[in-house]
């Protein structure tokens, strides 16, 4: 019984995601093909632009799974199904992850086939796209979980942008006021989702930087787990979260 409901929920999410998936495939795929063939900008800059584009797409995807259900008033119906709230959340996150990562995978296939080894080593290209994928996963889950209590997609976007830009502003303020040494500021930056951009920028790491990147990955994984637990808890609060 539960498996049938979960299967129907997955089909529903996939059907509602097709147009957005097609848009993501078109945008990242077209930009990758045109940029690497025209050679108007260096390949490494192309990767950075692709990473930033994918972040925007991940945040836009994260607005929809919960925000659209609340806006349409259908969240209460989903939570009344004979499955746990965390299972509903897991299905929504899983389908959204697939729709976010497929365009990145297409871009990687195009980039390696058209420009692999031309200006950048294949090892760095693989590293950069690995970091891009991680960054998309983190930004998507942050967006979904931080917006779990918001009544619309617009409110989800406002909250997420407030958290992201507020965090950057706080780090910039700490840096400008010299409240912490520069090395500590860099440490804090690497512990944020945007710290994963270092995969797409730096083609080699010192032993210290490798340690920092590993800490960034671990920190982001722990934060994702905490956010998922928080979101699952909030979905079980009918007075604040249901449809």
Question: pLDDT of 56-85, one tens digit each?
Answer: 999 988 888 888 888 888 888 888 888 888
- Residue 181 structural domain: 2-241
Question: In this predicted model, what pLDDT tens digit does every residue of 131-177 receive, in sequence order?
Answer: 889 889 988 998 998 888 888 888 888 888 888 777 777 877 877 77
Instruction: Write the DSSP symbol of residue 120.
Output: B
Please report which confidence band the pLDDT of residue 198 belongs to, taking 50, 70 and 90 as the band edges: low
The answer to whether residue 201 scores a pLDDT higher than 50 is yes
Q: What is the pLDDT of residue 187?
A: 66
Question: In this predicted model, what pLDDT tens digit does every residue of 38-61 receive, in sequence order?
Answer: 888 888 899 989 999 998 999 988
Q: What is the pLDDT of residue 243?
A: 43
**Mean of the pLDDT values across residues 118-133?**
85
Look at phi and psi of residue 73 and say left if phi exceeds 0, alpha if psi is from -120 to 50, else beta. left
CB-based contacts of 193, cutoff 8 Å, min separation 6: 135, 138, 139, 142, 164, 220
Residue located via tokens 């083609």: 203
Helices (H), the chain: 2-38, 43-72, 75-79, 85-115, 122-146, 153-176, 182-190, 198-201, 207-235, 238-241
Task: Say whether pTM exceeds 0.85.
Answer: no
d(C-alpha 216, C-alpha 55), whole Å: 17
Alpha-carbon distance values, 19 to 26, 58, 179 (Å): 11, 15, 47
Q: What percent of the chain has pLDDT over 70?
A: 85
Q: Based on the structure, what is the number of domains in the chain?
A: 1
Q: What is the pLDDT of residue 222?
A: 85
């Amino acid at each position: 019984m539960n498996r049938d409901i979960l299967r129907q929920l997955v089909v529903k999410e996939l059907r509602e995601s097709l147009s957005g998936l097609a848009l993501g495939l078109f945008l990242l795929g077209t930009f990758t093909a045109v940029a690497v063939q025209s050679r108007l900008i260096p390949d490494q800059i192309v990767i950075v632009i692709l990473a930033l584009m994918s972040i925007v797409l991940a945040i836009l995807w994260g607005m929809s799974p919960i925000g659209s259900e609340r806006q349409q008033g259908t969240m209460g119906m989903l939570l009344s199904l004979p499955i746990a709230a965390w299972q509903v959340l897991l299905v929504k996150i899983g389908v959204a992850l697939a729709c976010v990562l497929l365009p990145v995978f297409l871009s990687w296939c195009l980039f390696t086939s058209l420009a692999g080894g031309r200006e950048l080593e294949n090892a760095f290209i693989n590293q950069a796209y690995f970091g891009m994928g991680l960054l998309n996963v983190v930004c998507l889950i942050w967006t979904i979980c931080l917006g779990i209590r918001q009544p619309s997609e617009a409110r989800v976007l406002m909250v997420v942008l407030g958290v992201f830009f507020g965090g950057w502003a706080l780090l910039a303020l700490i840096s400008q006021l010299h409240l912490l040494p520069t090395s500590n500021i860099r440490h804090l930056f690497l512990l944020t989702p945007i710290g994963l951009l270092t995969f797409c920028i730096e083609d080699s790491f010192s032993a210290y930087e490798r340690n920092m990147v590993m800490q960034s990955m671990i920190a982001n994984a722990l934060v994702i787990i905490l956010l998922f637990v928080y979101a699952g808890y909030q979905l079980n609060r009918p007075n604040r979260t249901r449809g």
